[in-house]
Structure 1
Amino acid sequence: MPARIPTLRNLRNGFTLIELLVVIAIIAILAAILFPVFAKAREKARQISCASNLRQLGLAAMQYIQDNDEILPGAAYSFSGGGVIGGWMYYQTYSATPTPNQYDPTLGSLYPYVKSQGVFVCPDDAGGQLSRDSYAINSCVDAGTQIGNVFPGKSVAAFDDVSSFLLFGEEAYPNGTGNSDTQTTDDAYLLYPVSTNPISTRHTAGSNCVFVDGHVKWCRTDQLAARHLQTGGVDTGGACP
């Protein structure tokens, strides 16, 4: 006699509530394991995209230097509310919080070498996406002699070790993380002391940076303050080289 083939009805009757709960529990466990993995992978992808942006800014700065007698790009700012042309980024309006189109990269000195507004915004920075800028120049690459609202850049020859001195980094202000100086996104990356002009920690307690020689790497925030931003390695409002 041929074996009896189970019907759909019999299969349904054989699937108990306990078995259903076991399946749900397994799915929940897998989700708890996989979701953090996916989140880390997504953040890593954003960090890589941000590093790519800074790499392009670094290359643009190198081209700018070649075209301007080995002088680094300068910075500009304005407290009056009017825009200022002459820096690496055009600072359009003064505001204590990120505002739409607060910056205009197309009028900055590096845009002719980049020609993409997206390069100036980190994908992890919602404030920067609003204001159109996530990055800032280190104040110590400026010559210190203000001409109007513009700070011209220093000569590359002023730096003993261009591979260890920060040129551009990620600003904390556009992301709303405790920066009391609303100007640092544009005119200088870290006006001293570092404690009141923090470096962004958007990427796992650190940030991407491009150095005066054009190379890019991820650095812990404490490493940046101690090794790459000012002489003496301490946050004392210290001198620039």
Structure 2
Amino acid sequence: MTKFSRAFTLIELLVVIAIIAILAAILFPVFAQAKEAAKKTACLSNLRQIGTSFALYLNDADDRFPDRRDLKQSLPGGWKPWSTWPASDPRGGWAMITLHPYTHNDDIWSCDSIRGSAVGSVVQVKQTLRDESTSPASRYWLWRFDQITDPVPLDNFWGKTPDQTVSDLQEAKNPQAGNPQGEAEVELAVDPYFPGTIPSVDASLKGKAVHTGGRNRLFEDGHAKWLRDIRTKA
């Protein structure tokens, strides 16, 4: 007796293709979100390593933050305060060099989400250590090390102890820093972000950030966490 295998009909094939398309439409955004969440977690790990390197430096330097305003001036492009928001230069190339004996890894100064992105290449974010195209680069911001004036303003940390940074921020009454009650409330490093609510921010950068909808932050006590920010695109 001859056996015949039953083939799919055209209708059945179209139904299967439609089901696959629907599943793909549902799952692809989920996969994209999972991938971005993994990158955000990796970025938090970078910041924690940077926090550990600061702690090791403080231990070796009589509990004082580095004062490397000379590096801020001598790195490629020099100290470059922005002509738009804000009138400062929080780029962290100086820290990348100063803390290298404790990190031994230049890759932690740029998270995977920013490499190759529009935000990662703008002059307010990327700071190379040399003029060569292959030079390592820092893409984190350190707002409390953004000026090179002398004497150092209250909200800059050059050469200060952690206790002094807290008391100085309290005295400075900087609305961006708030009124910290301890090192756990003092931001040390952060993902780059360009609030959409600031009029002076370039239109091409408004609302853009490394991670959509917020940013990762490192604090003086070494802990790092995610902060949702409605001023950046969700």
What band does the TM-score fall into relative to the shorter chain? 0.5 to 0.7
User: 1:136, 1:170 within 8 Å by CA — same for their partners in 2?
Assistant: yes
- Structure 2 partner of 1:120: 109
- Structure 2 partner of 1:45: 38
Please give the root-mean-square deviation of Cα atoms over the aligned residues, in Å.
Answer: 3.7
1:154 and 2:143 correspond: no
- CA drift of 1:73 comes to 3.4
SS at match of 1:163: helix
Once residues 194 and 108 of structure 1 are traced to their aligned partners in structure 2, the CA distance between those partners, rounded to angstroms, is 32
1:136 and 2:141 correspond: yes
Aligned residues: 183
Counterpart of 2:102, as a letter, is Y
User: 1:74, 1:86 within 8 Å by CA — same for their partners in 2?
Assistant: no
Identity of aligned residues (%): 33
SS at match of 1:55: helix
Q: Mark the CA change 1:220 to 1:140 in structure 2 (over 3 Å): closer, same or farther.
A: farther
Once residues 136 and 199 of structure 1 are traced to their aligned partners in structure 2, the CA distance between those partners, rounded to angstroms, is 17
1:170 and 2:199 correspond: no
- Structure 2 partner of 1:189: none
Q: Equivalent residues in 2 for 1:46-61 (5 A)?
A: 46-61=39-54
Which sections of structure 2, spanning at least 5 residues, go unmatched?
83-90, 128-136, 167-180
Counterpart of 1:208, as a letter, is N
Once residues 94 and 149 of structure 2 are traced to their aligned partners in structure 1, the CA distance between those partners, rounded to angstroms, is 23
- CA drift of 1:141 comes to 8.8
Once residues 198 and 159 of structure 2 are traced to their aligned partners in structure 1, the CA distance between those partners, rounded to angstroms, is 21
SS at match of 1:136: coil
Q: Mark the CA change 1:195 to 1:103 in structure 2 (over 3 Å): closer, same or farther.
A: same
Once residues 55 and 133 of structure 1 are traced to their aligned partners in structure 2, the CA distance between those partners, rounded to angstroms, is 15
User: 2:56, 2:102 within 8 Å by CA — same for their partners in 1?
Assistant: yes
- Structure 2 partner of 1:73: 66
Which one is further off, 126-135 or 111-120?
126-135
The structure with more radius of gyration: 1
Which sections of structure 1, spanning at least 5 residues, go unmatched?
77-83, 97-101, 180-192, 224-241
User: 1:91, 1:103 within 8 Å by CA — same for their partners in 2?
Assistant: no
User: How big is each residue's C-alpha offset from its partner over 1:16-59, in whole Å with a ceiling of 9 and x where there is no partner?
Assistant: 22111101100100100110111011001110111111000000
- Structure 1 partner of 2:134: none
- Structure 2 partner of 1:85: 71
Q: Mark the CA change 1:105 to 1:85 in structure 2 (over 3 Å): closer, same or farther.
A: closer
Once residues 120 and 166 of structure 1 are traced to their aligned partners in structure 2, the CA distance between those partners, rounded to angstroms, is 16
Counterpart of 1:215, as a letter, is H
